[in-house]
Amino acid sequence: MTETKANYVNGEWVSSETGETIDVENPANPSETVARYQQSNAADAAEAVEAAVDAQDDWATTPGPERGRILREAGNVLADRKDELTDALVAEEGKAHAEAAGEVQRAIDIFYYFAVKAADLGGTTKSPSGRQKNLYIRQEPVGVAALVTPWNYPIAIPVWKLAPALAAGNTAVLKPASQAPGVAVAVAEALDEAGLPDGVLNVVTGPGSTVGTEFIENEGTDAVSFTGSSEVGELVYEQATDAGKRVQTELGGKNPTLVTDSADPAEAADIVANGGFGTTGQSCTACSRAIVHEDVYDDFVAELVDRAESVDIGPGDDHEMGPQVSESELESTLDYIDVAENEGATLAAGGEVPEGEAVDEGYFVEPTVFTNVDHEMRIAQEEVFGPVVAVLKVSDFEEGLEVANGVDYGLSASVVTDDHTEANRFVDESEAGVVKVNEKTTGLELHVPFGGFKRSSSETWREQGDAGLNFYTIEKTVYDNY
């Protein structure tokens, strides 16, 4: 019998007042229902916000080391359940087992990191201009944080929003994506087991149009953090700012890897393949454009095609690349492949739904490489969110940099080069929030800021590390004449 999961509100596991549920299917085997979750409505979301508001004052005055102890213990609970949560992530989202295990470990590490940071929060002391005075700055929580998270990193992203929010003394309401909410619910279970007071975290599953909108617009929430598509994120930003809230959005990308004439084509192909085909291309930082110097273009294409054709596709529990998360995501990728061919790009590898017993039921697509791509084609301008890499030929570094920057997005970018001057110029002139040299566009350290430029971000507040804490705190300056 399929298990039905409840919402977590005010320290209790409760059903939605709608009485309806959401079935989550296994994208590698859509006939298999993995679990059921609450199909909540705005009233359920409002109840969660009320619980967070009621709990906020007590949590804000809880000493930082005590908040950190709870976060650390939640990390321990997740560590004890790592194998179980990895399997759950594979079953709901389709991610390959090694990638899923790495994501669960990242969530654990984030809890440990912010557990330590919670004890350091407080403020700074400055020297006053007069005698018998104190002058200091206090860091205080913003209040109630509304967190709306995506399906592609269904445990890492909720935790990298939630951990700094809780460490700083905020309470939170969380709406995970309906395609894969199970591991976010497990985070609530871990925090509950760790001793988090009632109402400090509330998790409500359901549609973004009802639950998410209520979280964003409810007068009880003070800050909104959203990760998802640029189209939805721009609406969220407008909703939140109209309501006078602090807001951060992390959105889409059209991430380039520039391969210069000094690069080794095989090494560059490894970097692009890992960045473009890893996580089935379902990452906002995935490499979707390889911009390649004409002198190494042919060799690079041959190497990249070889890697695309050698990827082992199948269910994530025992294959290298899993399915797309849903039928609609698969159809979107296949539509972009058709568009690219119709616009005149050359299909050099993949582009089809694979055949075989292991892949005959799920939402699988072959790793795909397009060549002879023009910079103005949609395949070179729009986010695909599948394992599709467009290869563009350029005549020199200057043209390559111009093409790399010539899109509406600016999330992650990389350059593959043995020329130190070119590497430094790329870092200086790249219009992206994350810039890498001789590395894939995907993969992030948890203790440094993350965010994009242009349509990839609201360009207001960064996530992760100290920057993540800054979003969830507000400064109060104190003049004490004793």
Q: Which are the catalytic amino acids?
A: 284
H-type alpha helices, 243-326? 265-277, 297-310
Residue for token digits 């975290």?
201
What single string gives the DSSP state of each residue in 214-230? HHHH-TT--EEEEES-H
Assigned token pair, 104: 């669960």
Structure tokens at 49: 């916000």
b/e per residue, 101-140, with b = 16+ CB within 10 A? Answer: bebbbbbbbbbbbbbebbeebeeeeeeeeeeeeebeeebb
Cα–Cα distance measured from residue 98 to residue 151, given in angstroms and rounded to the nearest whole number: 17
Q: Is 453 exposed, middle or buried (0-12, 13-18, 19+ CB in 10 A)?
A: middle
Burial 64-99 (b: 16+ CB within 10 A, else e): beebbbbbbbbbbbbbebeeebbbbbbbbbbbbbeb
What the block records as the tokens of 336 is 């972009």
The alpha helices in 14-81, defined as continuous H runs, are 42-60, 64-80
**DSSP letter string over 318-357?**
TSSB---SSHHHHHHHHHHHHHHHHTT-EEEE--S---SG
CA atoms of 136 and 479, how far apart (whole Å): 7
**C-alpha span between 233 and 427 (Å, rounded):** 27
